[in-house]
Each structure stands twice: as C-alpha cells, then as structure tokens.
Amino acid sequence: MSRRMEFWGQMSAFGRAQLRLTTAAKKGLGDPVLAELVVLRASQVNRCAFCIDMHVRNLHEAGVEPRRIDLLPAWEEAGDLYTAKERAALALTEAVTVLTDGSVPDDVYATAAAHFDETELAHLIAVIIAINNWNRVNVTVRQPPGEER
C-alpha cells in the first residue's frame, strides 16, 4: 500500500496540537512504560502500522522485556507478565478503542478506577483518546511505518 496523501504536511498546526494533547495526557499518567503499552495496544487494535512500529521501538528503547511487547496482543492470556494495573489499563484501552455496543462496560471502567486515582484515570482516558486520533489519521492516509511525520 502506498501513502494516500501528506496529511501531516498539510495539517502541521493540527499535528502540533495533537502532539501537545498527547504529551499532556501522558505526563499525568506517570508511568511511561504503561503509557507506551496502552498506545501500542490501541494501535494494534486499530491496525496502525506506523504507530505500532513507533511504539514497539519506544518500548525496546525503554528496555522493556521483549516478551511483554511480543505478547501484548494476548495480554489477557499472558498470566502475570502484566501487572493488575496494566491489565486494567489495557482492558480500558480496548473498550474505549472499540466501543462495542456504543459504550465502555461498567466492570471495565470500575476495574480501571480501582487501580488509578481520578486524575490518573483522566490521563489514561486522554492517552487512549489521543492515540486513537493518531491511529485514525495514519490508517486513513496510509502513513508508512518508519517514516517521520
């Protein structure tokens, strides 16, 4: 597949605003590895090759154990490879990303709320929303993996 358009070049102000949103969301989450796991998982669900490539590299650079990266698509089956807090964040990520039946299930939200204080939870939701914005643009315009925006 080839790129459909140079979206980020045409929308540089939008890209800068999106980057500021993402930075603000991640900053309040605290744990940068958790944030990267969340954005990678959303990108996998959305099949955004550009973002998957970027966030896999970020996790490798952060020294995350390769098994935690490799098994992320099957995090629910990976036992204690992910903490309870990470599993709660990943479940919320999938629920917000897919919005099955038009809602986030109460049990998924309640589990996340049990692991994050209200400020952290707000930042987690913002991170999930921000990566979904990135994914939707990059998938739509077929942004090639490995290229700079």
pLDDT tens, residue by residue, 18-43: 999 999 999 989 899 999 999 999 99
Residue 95 has pLDDT above 80, yes or no: yes
Q: Using the CB atoms, write b or e for 74-97: b if 16+ within 10 Å.
A: ebeeeeebbeebbbbbbbbbbbbb
Q: Is 66 exposed, middle or buried (0-12, 13-18, 19+ CB in 10 A)?
A: exposed
* Residue-level pLDDT at 100: 77
pLDDT class of 136 with cuts at 50, 70, 90: very high
* Residue-level pLDDT at 148: 61
* Residue-level pLDDT at 134: 97
In this structure, which amino acid lies at residue 116?
Answer: F
* Residue-level pLDDT at 142: 94
Q: Note the pLDDT tens digit of each residue in 44-65.
A: 999 999 999 999 999 999 999 9
Mean model confidence pLDDT for the chain = 95
* Residue-level pLDDT at 149: 44
* Residue-level pLDDT at 147: 67
Residue 1 has pLDDT above 80, yes or no: no
Q: How far apart are CA 53 and CA 50, in angstroms?
A: 5
